[in-house]
């Protein structure tokens, strides 16, 4: 498994932990269960946990890794834009249906957060899928 795959799996694991944390906190904290979203901050440890080895002259990244990285980032950007757009428009429609004419200020950073998390999670998922399609550790 190359370092990019390990990073992607770690981000997906943190994303899953965040969802579990929010769902677990809802019965306890109610609307304040949103605090569980802070678990995603652990994804910031990725560069520290998966540093590239610089020994033995072994190639750490090549043209295929760069291609997968670009495609995964593109997928992440597309999903992020979609989630951000849906959060903006969906929130507006939902509030309008309730007869409210204004959007609460807390809603704005939440939409940005959703977009950011969607980018990281979609990029990680695309990375795992693209590496999985390519090859598994085979025989020599």
Partner 1 sequence: MGKTELKNQIRRLRFDHGEMTQQELARRVGVTRQTIIAIEARKYAPSLELAFRIARAFGRRVEQVFQSDEEPRGDDEG
Binding site for partner 1 (CB under 8 A): 2, 57-65, 131, 133-138, 140
Helix count (H) and strand count (E) of the chain?
4, 0
Of residues 24 and 61, the one with the C-beta less far from partner 1: 61
Give the residue with the Cβ less far from partner 1, 13 or 67: 67
Minimum distance from CB of 86 to partner 1 (Å)?
32
User: Smallest distance from the beta carbon of 132 to partner 1, in angstroms?
Assistant: 10
Q: How far is the CB of 134 from partner 1 (least distance, A)?
A: 4
Closest CA to 74 of 119, 113, 10, 109: 119
Nearest distance in Å: CB 50, partner 1: 15
Q: Please, which residue, 2 or 128, has the CB nearer to partner 1?
A: 2
Q: How far is CA 46 from CA 14, 69, 83, 100, 114, in A?
A: 10, 15, 23, 41, 19
- Which CB atom, from 2 or from 88, has the smaller least distance to partner 1? 2
Q: Per residue in 113-133, is it b (16+ CB within 10 Å) or e — as a string?
A: ebbebbbbbbbbbbbbebbee
């Amino acid at each position: 498994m190359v370092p990019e795959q390990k990073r992607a799996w770690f981000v997906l694991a943190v994303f899953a932990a965040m969802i579990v944390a929010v769902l677990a906190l809802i019965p306890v904290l109610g609307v304040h269960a949103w605090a569980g979203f802070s678990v995603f901050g652990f994804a910031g440890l990725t560069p520290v946990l998966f540093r590239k080895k610089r020994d033995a002259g072994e190639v750490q990244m090549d043209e295929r890794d760069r291609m997968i990285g670009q495609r995964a980032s593109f997928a992440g950007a597309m999903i992020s834009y979609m989630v951000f757009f849906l959060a903006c428009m969906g929130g507006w429609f939902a509030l309008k249906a309730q007869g409210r004419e204004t959007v609460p200020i807390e809603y704005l950073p939440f939409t940005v957060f959703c977009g950011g998390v969607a980018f990281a999670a979609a990029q990680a998922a695309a990375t795992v899928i693209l590496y999985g399609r390519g090859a598994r550790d085979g025989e020599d």
